[in-house]
């Protein structure tokens, strides 16, 4: 490898978890004043003078180098530090230790359509979003027609984007970002939105970008996209680099790491009343797995804590490989149950009825909620699993998600029979 | 181009980045204006109605408490004060709420965060320019021509902008950490309206209160506006101007210092 374009040395990021009081990152002035005022008193009593805090390293001792033109996939579980790494590389947040050296202009795309305003027209949003992503007005003007053509929204340019369909919205947003000309492009999960056809177009565009000698860092939960798009994969586990090498191997290790993960769970945050501590997928024998065989029950084992608040429910949202919400499981809405009204830590297994999922990678968002009111602790991408192949009804045809027929096979309860209908 | 990211190192490129991203500031200000005028039925007229109504209320109030009229038409005397007050108060209100309002941007894209409250002040400045047009109409109506003192108007406007920027940076940054400031700022503005010479004039302030009164930086700014618009018909205390300059400069320094100190943590707490 010649001289690198991205150099990461001993990178670490620490977050402070506050244990006393609120879990919210911002604080009420009242609490600060109360804590400060009470400190001398506690000191007199010989107690601790500070709110207890726990350090949590979202990222630790991360080292790697990236050569110009390389396309690198960053994979890892929820809480493994992927987003933190991207946020540091994009200069949104500062590292606690270590250093990153970037030899080139960086553009990062952590979200599609950042700063889009629903009241503004497509035309106006192109300029606004372009400026937010770091393009100059002259640059946007020069690429304007190309952006519009890529997004295929010519007819709606002067319509406020609030009237756009979600597909049009995403196309326009990605089109602006795709026309950035950075030397280093950082992308987070943006391909997870949009329809299959547009995803293909975006993948194609990213291919062009990398072929044009540009370096791409790419985070995704879509293992197929990582395999087809990147040449090298960096697997993060609990904030550290667990593997750095060929993309296919990184993906395999990631898929096979189900058991490692249960040993040390990442901190997932907490809600007001509850905290989802860990979750895993079980096979019929009760072992942690990462694959799901279509047509069998899907077993999700969840460990959670509750403060005993009445009227709490537990939900799971299934997302298909395109990150589209596919279905809901709910202990309250479907079974009339709530979480135990006694504070403590509990383990529960949700055994979902057989589904005929197409082959692809799926994920589950797990959340607790105050019934009919609000989410309490929402964990996005709490679990991921793979459907390796879907031979519905024992037929040889493999129903793949990326064929564009959706992600749910709808087999008949019994083989349909054709009866002769007399036409009189 | 080489860029190093390290703890506490963001200062290096900061001011250069501010310059590089200056177009974004215009775009943000333009967005706020465009959205406001699209969402409201009478659009730009709002920038005129608010100061006009405020002026009428204060003129009526002065009649009610029997303030003896001077040789300057009352509406003009009051409007000359409402003009900077409106600019300052809306700039301060919008800039201190601006970071929270743009939380989505802060957690997803890098740019110097100082641009956000600055853009809010620029938006308020655009409204101020529109209101200046109304002032011109009033002066025409009363047949009062601006004298050479009018040339100092940009100076006093800059002073108001400086003060709004400084306090805006400070309050916006505090607002990210302590959400209480959402309630504190409107209250401060309300108090400011009554302790500043808008409904009254400085000469009516009793002698023993003068020193404390002059500490209010708005006294110098508002009296400066009155003096520059009405020329010799109005007295300007140099002491009030010096006090304004001192307070505006120190609040700008304090605001930038505090903002820069806590800025790197914004994305983690917002």
Contact B35 A28 (CB under 8 A): no
Q: Read off the pLDDT of residues B101-125 as tens digits, 9 standing for 90 and up.
A: 998 889 888 889 999 999 999 999 9
**Residue A246 lies inside a defined structural domain of this protein:** yes
Q: Are residues A251 and A285 in the same domain?
A: no
Q: Bigger pLDDT: A172 or B89? A: B89
Category of B146 on φ-ψ map: left (φ > 0), alpha (ψ -120 to 50) or beta: beta
Q: Which pairs with CB-CB distance under 8 Å and at least 24 residues apart come from B231-237?
A: B231/B146, B231/B147, B231/B148, B231/B149, B231/B150, B232/B147, B232/B149, B233/B70, B233/B71, B233/B72, B234/B72, B234/B77, B235/B202, B235/B203, B237/B202
User: How far apart are the C-alpha atoms of B225 and B229, rounded to whole Å?
Assistant: 6
Taking the whole predicted model, whether its pTM rises above 0.80 is answered as no
Contact B24 A131 (CB under 8 A): yes
Residue among A357, A385, A366, A360 nearest A256 (CA): A385
B35 touches chain A (CB under 8 A): yes
Interface of A with B in 20-49 (CB under 8 A): 25-30, 32
A9 touches chain B (CB under 8 A): no
Main-chain phi, psi angles of A234, to 5 degrees = -115, 120
Contact A92 B178 (CB under 8 A): no
Q: Are residues A251 and A269 in the same domain?
A: no
A92 touches chain B (CB under 8 A): yes
Query: Which tokens sit at B123?
Result: 């938006």
Axis crossing angle, helix B115-141 with helix B22-39, rounded to the nearest 10:
60
Q: Are residues A305 and A198 in the same domain?
A: no
What CATH number does residue A132 fall under? 3.40.50.300
User: How far apart are the C-alpha atoms of A14 and A27, rounded to whole Å?
Assistant: 19
Domain end among A219, A234, A257: A257
State how many domains chain A has. Answer: 2
**Residue A16 lies inside a defined structural domain of this protein:** no
Q: What is the DSSP letter of A6?
A: E
User: How far apart are the C-alpha atoms of B106 and B112, rounded to whole Å?
Assistant: 10
Are the C-beta atoms of residues A65 and A4 closer than 8 Å to each other?
yes
Q: What is the DSSP letter of A221?
A: S
Domain end among A257, A291, A325: A257
Contact A94 B105 (CB under 8 A): no
User: How far apart are the C-alpha atoms of B103 and B100, rounded to whole Å?
Assistant: 5
Residue written as token pair 């007005």? A137
Q: Are residues A313 and A362 in the same domain?
A: yes
Q: Are residues A104 and A160 in the same domain?
A: yes
Q: Looking at residue A17, what is its pLDDT? A: 65
Please tell me which residue of chain A has the smallest CA distance to B11.
A94
CB atoms within 10 A of CB B8: 8
What CATH number does residue A353 fall under? 2.70.50.60
Q: Collapse the DSSP code of A274 into the 3-class scheme (helix H, G, I; strand E, B; otherwise coil) and give the result.
A: strand
One-character DSSP codes across A367-412: EEEETTTEEEEEEEEEEEEEE----GGG-S---BGGGSS-SB----
Question: How confident is the prediction along chain A (424 residues), in pLDDT tens digits per residue?
Answer: 568 899 999 999 988 765 444 445 566 666 666 666 666 555 555 544 445 566 788 899 999 999 988 889 998 877 788 888 998 998 888 899 999 999 888 888 887 778 888 889 999 999 999 998 888 899 999 999 999 998 888 899 999 998 988 778 888 888 888 788 788 888 886 555 555 666 667 767 766 766 677 788 888 777 777 777 788 999 998 889 989 999 888 888 887 664 444 434 566 778 889 999 889 899 888 888 888 999 899 999 999 999 999 999 999 999 988 778 899 999 999 999 999 999 999 999 999 999 999 988 898 999 999 998 888 998 888 888 888 888 888 888 888 887 778 889 999 988 899 999 888 7
Beta carbon pairs, A and B, within 8 Å: 109
Contact A91 B5 (CB under 8 A): yes
Domain end among A257, A288, A305: A257
Q: Looking at residue A21, what is its pLDDT? A: 41
**Residue A2 lies inside a defined structural domain of this protein:** no
Q: Are residues A242 and A271 in the same domain?
A: no
Query: Which tokens sit at A102?
Result: 């970037």
Q: Are residues A215 and A269 in the same domain?
A: no
A124 touches chain B (CB under 8 A): yes
| Mean pLDDT (whole number) for B196-203 | 87
Please tell me which residue of chain B has the smallest CA distance to A188.
B108
Among A32, A92, A98, the residue with its CB nearest the CB of B110 is: A92
Q: Are residues A252 and A320 in the same domain?
A: no
Domain that holds residue A90: 58-257
**Residue A329 lies inside a defined structural domain of this protein:** yes
Q: Are residues A72 and A174 in the same domain?
A: yes
**Residue A407 lies inside a defined structural domain of this protein:** no
Q: Which residues in A lie closer than 8 A to residue B180 (C-beta atoms)?
A: 28-30
B18 touches chain A (CB under 8 A): no
Q: Looking at residue A260, what is its pLDDT? A: 43
Among B7, B177, B270, the residue with its CB nearest the CB of A94 is: B7
**Residue A232 lies inside a defined structural domain of this protein:** yes
Q: Are residues A217 and A268 in the same domain?
A: no
**Residue A18 lies inside a defined structural domain of this protein:** no
Main-chain phi, psi angles of A337, to 5 degrees = -100, 160
Q: Are residues A114 and A245 in the same domain?
A: yes
**Residue A13 lies inside a defined structural domain of this protein:** no
Q: What is the DSSP letter of B149?
A: G
Q: Are residues A101 and A201 in the same domain?
A: yes
């Amino acid at each position: 490898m010649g001289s690198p374009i991205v150099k990461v040395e001993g990178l670490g990021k620490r977050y402070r978890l506050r244990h006393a009081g609120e879990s919210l990152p911002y604080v009420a002035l009242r609490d600060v004043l109360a804590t400060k005022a009470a400190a001398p008193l506690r000191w007199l009593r010989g107690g601790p003078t500070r709110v207890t805090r726990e350090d949590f390293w979202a990222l630790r001792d991360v080292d790697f180098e990236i050569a110009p033109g390389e396309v690198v996939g960053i994979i890892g579980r929820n809480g493994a530090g992927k987003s933190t790494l991207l946020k540091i590389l994009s200069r949104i947040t500062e590292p606690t230790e270590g250093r990153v050296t970037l030899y080139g202009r960086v553009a990062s795309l952590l979200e599609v359509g950042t700063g889009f305003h629903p009241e503004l027209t497509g035309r106006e949003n192109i300029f606004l979003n372009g400026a937010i992503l770091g393009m100059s007005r002259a640059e946007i003007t020069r690429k304007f027609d190309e952006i519009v053509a890529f997004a295929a929204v010519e007819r709606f340019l002067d319509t406020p984007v609030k009237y756009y369909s979600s597909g049009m919205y995403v196309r326009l947003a990605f089109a602006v970002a795709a026309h950035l000309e950075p030397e280093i492009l950082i992308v987070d999960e943006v391909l997870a939105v949009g329809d299959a056809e547009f995803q293909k177009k975006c993948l194609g565009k990213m291919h062009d970008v990398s072929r044009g000698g540009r370096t791409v860092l790419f985070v995704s939960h879509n293992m197929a996209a990582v395999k087809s798009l990147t040449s090298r994969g960096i697997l993060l586990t609990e904030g550290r680099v667990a593997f750095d090498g060929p993309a296919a191997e990184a993906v395999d290790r990631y898929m096979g790491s189900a058991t490692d993960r249960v040993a040390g769970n990442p901190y997932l945050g907490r809600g007001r009343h509850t905290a989802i501590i860990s979750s895993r997928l079980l096979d019929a024998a009760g072992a942690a797995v990462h694959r799901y065989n279509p047509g069998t029950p899907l077993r999700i084992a969840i460990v959670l804590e509750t403060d005993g608040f009445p009227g709490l429910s537990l939900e799971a949202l299934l997302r298909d490989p395109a990150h589209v919400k596919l279905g809901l499981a709910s202990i309250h809405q479907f079974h009339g149950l709530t979480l135990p009204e006694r504070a403590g830590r509990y383990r529960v297994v949700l055994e979902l009825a057989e589904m005929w999922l197409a082959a692809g990678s799926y994920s589950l968002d797990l959340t607790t909620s105050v019934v009919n009111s609000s989410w309490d602790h929402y964990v996005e991408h709490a679990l991921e699993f793979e459907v390796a192949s879907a031979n519905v009804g024992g037929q040889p045809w493999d129903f793949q998600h990326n064929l564009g027929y959706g992600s749910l096979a709808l087999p008949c309860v019994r083989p349909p029979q054709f009866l002769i209908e007399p036409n009189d | 181009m080489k860029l190093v990211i390290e703890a506490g190192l963001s200062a290096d490129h900061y001011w250069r980045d501010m310059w590089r991203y200056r177009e974004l500031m215009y775009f943000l200000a333009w967005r706020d204006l465009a959205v406001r005028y699209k969402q409201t039925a009478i659009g730009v007229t709002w920038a005129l109605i608010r100061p006009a109504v405020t002026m009428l209320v204060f003129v009526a109030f002065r009649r009610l408490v029997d303030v003896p009229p001077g040789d300057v038409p009352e509406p003009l005397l009051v409007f000359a004060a409402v003009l900077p007050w409106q600019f300052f108060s809306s700039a301060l209100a919008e800039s201190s709420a601006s970071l929270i309002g743009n939380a989505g941007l802060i957690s997803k894209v890098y740019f110097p965060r100082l641009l956000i409250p600055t853009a809010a002040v620029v938006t308020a400045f655009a409204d101020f320019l529109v209101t200046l047009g109304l002032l011109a109409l009033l002066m025409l109506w009363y047949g009062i021509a601006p004298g050479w003192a009018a040339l100092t108007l940009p100076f006093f406007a800059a002073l108001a902008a400086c003060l709004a920027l400084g306090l805006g940076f400070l309050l916006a940054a505090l607002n990210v950490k302590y959400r209480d400031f959402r309630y504190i700022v409107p209250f401060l503005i309300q108090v400011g309206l009554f302790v500043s010479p808008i409904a009254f004039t400085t000469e009516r302030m009793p002698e023993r209160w003068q020193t404390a009164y002059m500490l209010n930086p708005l006294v110098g700014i508002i009296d400066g506006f009155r003096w520059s618009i009405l020329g010799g018909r109005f007295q300007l205390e140099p002491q009030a101007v010096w006090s304004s300059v001192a307070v505006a400069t120190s609040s700008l320094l304090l605001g930038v210092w505090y903002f820069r100190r806590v800025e790197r943590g914004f994305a983690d707490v917002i």
